[in-house]
Structure 1
Amino acid sequence: MGGTPLIELYIAFARSRPTSGDRGARVARSLVGNYVTSLDMQGFSVTVCQLDDELTELWDAPVQTPSLRWGR
């Protein structure tokens, strides 16, 4: 949320990933980092969604925004 160091975000991700597998979910895509933040607010959030083929294609599409960029 802005005030949490990146290493702590990766620890939270590493600890939450096995839990999702225990429930029959498969992690297909993931983002770890400070993407939408509040000024010096501590903490993190985990968002989970079910991807079908159409949503996966949209997720993988190129992105060019001020806070997020990938693809062409």
Structure 2
Amino acid sequence: MSEIDNLRARVDTLEMRFSYQDQLIEDLNRTITEQWKQIDALTRRLANLGERVREAADNAGAPAAPEPPPPHY
């Protein structure tokens, strides 16, 4: 194998690796974007649930209104 053939083979190998790496970077970017969307949605849901738990805890400590007597009294 001549030196030029060797260089061609190396360049071909590098070009193939580059194309695979470029696709891999695009796939990773898409995955990260989807994960950030999910994280954002889950963060909002968690904040909403935290607020609901605080409201429930605040309401649990308040005395309940007396139950009215049954109608036959």
Q: TM-score, normalised by structure 1?
A: 0.27
Higher relative contact order (CA 8 A, sep 6+): 1
Which has a greater percent of helix? 2
Query: Higher Cα Rg: structure 1 or 2?
Result: 2
Which has a greater percent of strand? 1
